[in-house]
């Protein structure tokens, strides 16, 4: 069955009741394709299957995946640097389109483009009430759940996703393309979370350790906060052009690093490499802030002393994922700056879902900040 006939079949099986799109009893007639990750030691790492979609439960949203992007956390999973439950459907970054929903209180309509929170939360527990929804006691994360947990359409490397009732969604403004929208709900929203802890300092100086998409977003965000000087370092000198166009100064020279000792107000680690931490501590002024975002993997032991932190009166803050408010901020930030920074240019080519392995290989090579997957590519 073609994607077009698949979509037509489902459109014919929905009914509109008081402005609410509700699936009819024929929902199971609609088919969805998903790519299943079986683990790196499996004879077949990825397999694909097409099955009937389940009925929607209260508060759920059925969305079509317009465009997904491959996050480095997925690369870490398929290269064995981190372990996730298997079998599963990977992928948590995507821009999606509403097909049907059971949220009577919402203003969602069929065809709306959305971004969604990577974490589904209860909004009632201790952590949710503190604004740490990403640490909810009933946390569910898209692209990180076992196939048997929930609908089975829980990851972005599939033609459809069923968004759970506690998942925050935000409509995508027309000015933002699918290519630019796909990474919003991971990298950019996490950047917005980090910026909550960054003080506004007159003539502020910052250093971003990492020139991937999270680093570039952070450079732009710091500049928009009013930081006069933002340095950005990384492993690939060819990214210097993009660092500059995202408002920062490319820094690949140890001599320059030494000149900035005790002159930096904020250091943001987004590269995932623990070896850079001593440089960051040395560069910070007394009373400076160090944000850790990238070292979300077991191989992140730190070789530092308590004295280094105490004598400089430093603040070290870990930032992991984000709360619903940060997703709203991310969409707003992108809409306001879409013409100012080259968001589209750092995104690579789009692959069909059947070519996921090839797309993953290109992601591992880090030629592009993001490689795309278009599950409904015809």
Q: Is residue 9 part of a domain?
A: no
Q: Is residue 7 part of a domain?
A: no
Distance CA 268, CA 220 (A): 13
Q: Is residue 218 located within the same domain as residue 312?
A: yes
pLDDT at position 297:
82
CATH code of residue 67: 3.90.180.10
Q: Is residue 60 located within the same domain as residue 148?
A: yes
Distance of CA 337 to the CA centre of its chain: 18
pLDDT at position 80:
87
Q: Is residue 220 located within the same domain as residue 366?
A: no
Distance CA 261, CA 302 (A): 20
Q: Is residue 11 part of a domain?
A: no
Average of pLDDT values for 110-123?
Answer: 95
Q: Is residue 113 located within the same domain as residue 211?
A: no
* Mean pLDDT over the full length of the chain: 90
Decide if pLDDT at 299 tops 90: no
Q: What is the pLDDT of residues 311-320, one digit of tens each?
A: 999 999 999 9
Q: Is residue 176 located within the same domain as residue 272?
A: no
Q: Is residue 176 located within the same domain as residue 308?
A: no
pLDDT at position 378:
61
Q: Is residue 192 part of a domain?
A: no
By the 8 A CB rule, do 164 and 152 touch? Answer: no
By the 8 A CB rule, do 347 and 180 touch? Answer: yes
Residue 291 belongs to domain spanning:
198-318
Q: Is residue 101 located within the same domain as residue 221?
A: no
Task: Kindly tell me the sign of the dihedral angle through the C-alpha atoms of 347, 72, 357, 54.
Answer: negative
pLDDT at position 240:
81
Q: Is residue 136 part of a domain?
A: yes
Q: Is residue 171 part of a domain?
A: yes
Q: What is the pLDDT of residues 60-113, one digit of tens each?
A: 999 999 999 999 899 989 988 888 899 999 999 999 999 999 999 899 999 999
Q: Is residue 8 part of a domain?
A: no
pLDDT at position 256:
67
pTM score, two decimals?
A: 0.90
DSSP, collapsed to helix, strand or coil, labels residue 27 as helix
Q: What is the pLDDT of residues 14-36, one digit of tens each?
A: 333 333 444 443 455 799 999 99
pLDDT at position 372:
98
CATH code of residue 256: 3.40.50.720
pLDDT at position 2:
42
pLDDT at position 257:
73
Q: What is the pLDDT of residues 322-352, one digit of tens each?
A: 999 999 999 999 999 999 999 999 999 999 9
pLDDT at position 298:
83
Decide if pLDDT at 193 tops 80: yes
By the 8 A CB rule, do 169 and 115 touch? Answer: yes
Q: Is residue 160 located within the same domain as residue 261?
A: no
Distance CA 6, CA 169 (A): 25
Q: Is residue 202 located within the same domain as residue 140?
A: no
Task: Kindly tell me the sign of the dihedral angle through the C-alpha atoms of 117, 190, 128, 152.
Answer: positive
Structure tokens at 194: 């980090």
Decide if pLDDT at 10 tops 60: no
Q: Is residue 218 located within the same domain as residue 309?
A: yes
Q: Is residue 71 located within the same domain as residue 114?
A: yes
Residue of 203, 219, 198, 197 whose CA lies nearest to 369: 219
Average of pLDDT values for 237-261?
Answer: 82
φ, ψ of residue 202 to 5 degrees: the values are -65, 130
Decide if pLDDT at 253 tops 50: yes
Q: Is residue 203 located within the same domain as residue 178?
A: no
Decide if pLDDT at 160 tops 50: yes
Confidence of residue 276 (pLDDT cuts 50, 70, 90): very high
**Region of poorest pLDDT, from 115-129, 171-185, 227-241, 249-263:** 249-263
Confidence of residue 161 (pLDDT cuts 50, 70, 90): very high
pLDDT at position 28:
56
Distance CA 222, CA 185 (A): 19
Domain count, the chain: 2
């Amino acid at each position: 069955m073609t994607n077009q006939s698949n979509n037509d079949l489902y459109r014919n099986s929905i009914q509109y009741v008081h402005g609410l799109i509700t699936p009819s009893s024929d929902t199971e007639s609609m088919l969805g394709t998903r790519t299943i990750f079986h683990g790196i030691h499996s004879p077949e790492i990825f397999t694909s299957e097409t099955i009937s979609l389940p009925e929607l439960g209260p508060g759920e949203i059925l969305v079509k995946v317009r465009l997904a992007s491959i996050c480095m956390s997925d690369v870490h999973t398929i290269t064995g640097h981190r372990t996730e439950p298997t079998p599963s459907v990977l992928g948590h970054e995507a821009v999606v389109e509403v097909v049907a929903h059971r949220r009577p209180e919402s203003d969602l309509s069929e065809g709306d483009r959305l971004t969604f929170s990577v974490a589904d939360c209860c909004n009632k527990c201790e952590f949710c009430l503190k604004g740490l929804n990403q640490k909810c006691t009933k946390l569910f994360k898209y692209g990180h759940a076992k196939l048997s947990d929930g609908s089975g359409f829980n990851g972005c490397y599939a033609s459809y996703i069923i968004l759970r009732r506690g998942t925050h969604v935000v409509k995508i403004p027309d000015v933002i393309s699918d290519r630019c929208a796909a990474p919003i709900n991971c990298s950019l929203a996490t950047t917005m979370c980090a910026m909550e802890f960054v003080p506004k300092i007159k003539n502020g100086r910052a250093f971003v350790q990492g020139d991937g998409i999270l680093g570039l977003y952070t450079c732009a965000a710091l500049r928009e906060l009013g930081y006069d000087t933002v340095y950005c370092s990384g492993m690939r000198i060819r990214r210097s052009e993009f660092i500059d166009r995202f408002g920062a100064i490319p820094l690949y020279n140890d001599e320059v690093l030494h000149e900035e000792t005790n002159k930096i107000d904020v250091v943001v680690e987004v590269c995932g490499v623990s070896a850079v931490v001593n440089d960051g501590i040395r560069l910070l002024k007394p009373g400076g802030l160090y944000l850790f975002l990238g070292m979300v993997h077991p191989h992140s032991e730190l070789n530092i002393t308590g004295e280094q932190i105490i004598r400089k009166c430093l603040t070290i803050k870990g930032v992991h994922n984000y709360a619903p408010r940060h997703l709203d901020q991310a969409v707003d930030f992108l809409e306001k700056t879409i013409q100012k920074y080259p968001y589209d240019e750092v995104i690579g080519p789009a692959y069909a879902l059947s070519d996921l392995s090839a797309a993953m290989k290109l992601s591992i090579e880090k030629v592009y900040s993001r490689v795309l997957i278009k599950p409904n590519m015809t």
